[in-house]
A and B are shown apart, each in its own frame.
Chain A
């Protein structure tokens, strides 16, 4: 199984900050990676697919990048509605999720 390791596990930010989180795969997964936002009591919402494609309706402050084993989700201008847990998911083989990055406001 491909292990997806996310870092950091949690972070505190302020409105307007640039936020970067990482996801590292234990083996090459190409661009078969998605990023998901999960708010409390809600199901995961896909933000990014194929590593760098933004879903319709997702603000352009969310950007995904990477390929192979290293992937990044960047929020260019943190907003008050962005606190959530963010997960990466690889689907190059049977799907596996990262452990999540919990993003909170200071």
Chain B
């Protein structure tokens, strides 16, 4: 059974670093790419970056200077770190998987992050 589960702090202070974890089950990180997508409160969806099945990473150019994605295949986890958080980074953060034949089929339940002092 495929599952993706995001976890992380619910509250981050302005200028601090956000650290999120996507823990997956039911598939291998060496066979699927994992993407991070965020949704500012009441707004639409924005791709942030990806960890490819082969370990390569790519980032949304708008976030690239602040964003880092890594993984631990032995723990079935993908990590997101984003620094210099501001209030407009408040929203829900999702991870989703992509395979060639079935792009973005499963999504995590999301983790709500509030940036506030």
Interface of A with B (CB < 8 Å)? 1, 32, 34, 36, 43-46, 49, 55, 87, 89, 91, 94-100
At the interface, yes or no: B91 with Cβ under 8 Å from chain A?
no
> Chain B residues near A55 (CB, 8 Å)?
105
Interface size for chain B: under 10, 10 to 19, 20 to 34, or 35 or more residues? 10 to 19
Closest to B35 in A: A95
Among B54-106, those with CB < 8 Å from A are 58, 60-61, 94, 98, 102-105
> Chain B residues near A34 (CB, 8 Å)?
103-104
How far is B108's CA from A89's CA once the two chains are assembled, in angstroms?
17
How far is B45's CA from A27's CA once the two chains are assembled, in angstroms?
20
> Chain A residues near B102 (CB, 8 Å)?
49
Q: Which of B58, B107, B109 contacts A94 (CB 8 A)?
A: B58
Q: Which 10 residue pairs of A and B lie closest in terms of their CB atoms, listed nearest first?
A: A97-B45, A43-B107, A95-B47, A91-B103, A99-B44, A43-B110, A100-B44, A46-B105, A43-B109, A44-B107
